[in-house]
Structures are given as C-alpha cells and as structure tokens.
C-alpha cells in the first residue's frame, strides 16, 4: 500500500479500521483523540488510501483553519459531494441552481489582475476564491454562497442550510443502502459550531443509527472531548482511541532513509530511541539533521 511520505507505520490502527469496514466490530465511529504531532493527518490519508484500494467511496474533509480557512457548511457539502461523486447528489445540484438564480450577474473576470466586478446588485468589497484555473478563469462556487450568507435574510439563510442538508442526507442515504461509505473528518476540533451542528443534524444523527454501512472517523486533539461527551443518539457506536501505537525500530530507520538523513552510526541508536519514545520529536530531529547533514 502506498503511504504518505512522512507516514510512520500504524499497523494496529489500520487493522482496526479494516475491521470496522468489514463490520467485524459493532462500532462504526472511530474517534481519534490524540496529542499534536502524532501523525494523525497522515493516518487519515492512509485510511483514505485503504478505501481507495477496496473501492469504497470515501470523503476526506480537513477542518484545519491554517490550511483551508474556515470550512463552512456549504464548503463541507460540496467537498463531500465532490469526493463521493456529484452524480450521487442530484438534489444538491438543484439546490445550487436555485441559489445561483438569486446571484447578481458577473460583469467581468478577464482582466488578469485578480479582481472581479460583481455588478450593481452586488455589494462585495472582497471575495474568497477556493479554486482558480488559468489566469482569467475562476470557479465562483463559493462566491455564490458567500453572497447569500452576507446579503440574504436570516430566514433565507436557514432555508439554504435546510435544503443543502436535506440534499446531502438524501444522497448519502441512497449510497449507504447499496454499499459502505466512509466520511473522514480531520482536525475536527477546529470545525466551527455552525458546521458541527449542521453535520450532527443532517448526517450523523439521522444516518448513523439507520445505515450500518456508514463509517465515520473523527480525528482531532483533546479539545474534542467536550464534543463527544455530549448526549448523542450514536454514542454507542463510538470506538474511542486516545493513543496511537508506538513506531517500531524498523519504522524509524525507514523514516531516516525516506528523508535522506545522514545520521552518524554513534547517533542512530539515540535517534531511534527518541522517535520510539515520542513520535512528535521526529520532525524536529529531521529538521536538525537536514540543516546539519553530518550531525
């Protein structure tokens, strides 16, 4: 199995995930609440690769605000639909078409200077573009939602949340009747309150109990305890893992090789012991040995 470049083998966690996929254990919500710098994100990518190999539909959403900014509920809906296949969510496409009809015409985008004029009905001073293709072509999907969220009444915004939620729920329910579907929610402690409430209302609460083929992995730092400690209809499906398995000596030596580190023979044993004791130090050691290639 191809692994992400920095990944340190996690055989125990991978075996557990495969058991969940196979229905060998009753829990279907794997909660990874672990300290920083333990390889959590790479583990989520590895879970994604397992799904790809088994041809299981999988959506990976990372809520890391440093990398993606705030992941609002409309971004979440689109990410899940894109990952699982837009053809599975016709209701969401219809919802977006209705929204687009309310949006003011875009007059120009082709000046090549990174600016866009939204016409006399728009009141934008700036906009956040997630996807840009070519100098003068932009994907304005998120701009529609940003406009709606800023300009429309609270009632219409609630209607949008309802319509998007119903569309996502319907598509997921159809898929889960036929085969296993996996949702990977990474850095979930950084998800904003609105997004979490929306996921609970339209995905987790109505679907997890009813569809045994839906598998969810929620990963984050200890701040997630507050979220999981609340009463939830699917709490009996949670398998909590608070520590990841320690890397083996062979894993650390492979890590050294992958990154081309030159660790003198009299230091390699200390390097290995440090990594086995606390995996979070590996990145720091890597940077030190890259700056000082001869140790």
Asked if 238 and 28 count as a contact pair (C-beta separation under 8 A), the reply is no
Cα dist from 7 to 11, 40, 242, 257, 267, whole Å = 11, 9, 19, 13, 22
pLDDT per position as a tens digit, 157-181: 788 889 999 999 999 999 999 999 9
DSSP 214-265: EEEEEEE-GGGHHHHTS--TTGGGEEEE--PPPPPHHHHHHHHHHTT----H
Q: Per-residue confidence at 254, pLDDT binned at 50, 70, 90?
A: confident
Q: What is the pLDDT of residue 265?
A: 79
Q: What is the pLDDT of residue 149?
A: 54
E strands present in the chain? 29-33, 58-62, 131-132, 138-139, 181-186, 214-220, 238-241
Residues in contact with 237: Cβ distance below 8 Å, sequence separation at least 6, in sequence order: 26, 27, 28, 29, 208, 209
Q: Per-residue confidence at 203, pLDDT binned at 50, 70, 90?
A: very high
- For residue 30, the Cα-to-chain-centroid distance in whole angstroms is 14
Beta bridge partners of 285: none
Provide the CATH topology of domain 11-85+176-241.
Rossmann fold (3.40.50)
- Given a cut of 60, is residue 25 above it in pLDDT? yes
- For residue 247, the Cα-to-chain-centroid distance in whole angstroms is 24
Q: What is the mean pLDDT of residues 224-253?
A: 85
Q: What is the mean pLDDT of residues 116-141?
A: 46
Domain ranges for the chain, please list them: 11-85+176-241, 249-291
Q: Per-residue confidence at 141, pLDDT binned at 50, 70, 90?
A: low
Asked if 246 and 279 count as a contact pair (C-beta separation under 8 A), the reply is yes
Residue 211 CA to residue 215 CA, distance in Å, equals 9
Q: Per-residue confidence at 184, pLDDT binned at 50, 70, 90?
A: very high
């Amino acid at each position: 199995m191809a692994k992400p470049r920095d990944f340190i083998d996690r055989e125990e966690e991978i075996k557990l995930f495969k058991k969940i996929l196979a229905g060998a254990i009753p829990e279907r919500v794997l909660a990874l609440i672990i300290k920083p710098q333990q390889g959590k994100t790479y583990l989520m990518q590895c879970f994604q690769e397992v799904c790809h190999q088994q041809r299981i539909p999988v959506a990976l959403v990372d809520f890391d605000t440093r990398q993606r900014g705030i992941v609002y509920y409309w971004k979440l809906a689109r990410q899940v639909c894109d990952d699982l296949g837009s053809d599975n969510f016709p209701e969401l496409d219809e919802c977006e078409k209705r929204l687009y009809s309310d949006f003011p015409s875009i007059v120009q985008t082709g000046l090549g200077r990174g600016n866009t004029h939204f016409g006399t009905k728009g009141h934008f001073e700036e906009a956040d573009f997630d996807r840009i293709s070519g100098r003068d072509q932009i994907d304005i999907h998120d701009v529609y939602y940003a406009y709606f969220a800023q300009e429309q009444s609270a009632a219409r915004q609630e209607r949008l949340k309802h319509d998007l939620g119903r569309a996502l729920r319907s598509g997921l329910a159809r898929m889960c009747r036929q085969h296993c579907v996996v949702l990977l929610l990474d850095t979930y402690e950084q998800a904003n309150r609105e997004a979490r409430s929306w996921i609970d209302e339209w995905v987790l609460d109505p679907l997890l109990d009813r569809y045994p083929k839906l598998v969810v992995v929620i990963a984050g730092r200890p701040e997630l305890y507050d979220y999981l400690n609340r009463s939830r209809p699917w709490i009996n499906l949670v398998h909590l893992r608070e520590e990841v398995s320690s890397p083996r000596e062979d894993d650390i030596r492979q890590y050294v090789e992958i990154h081309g580190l030159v660790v003198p023979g009299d230091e390699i044993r200390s390097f290995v012991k440090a990594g086995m004791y606390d995996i979070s130090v590996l990145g720091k050691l890597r940077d030190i040995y890259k700056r000082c290639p001869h140790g």
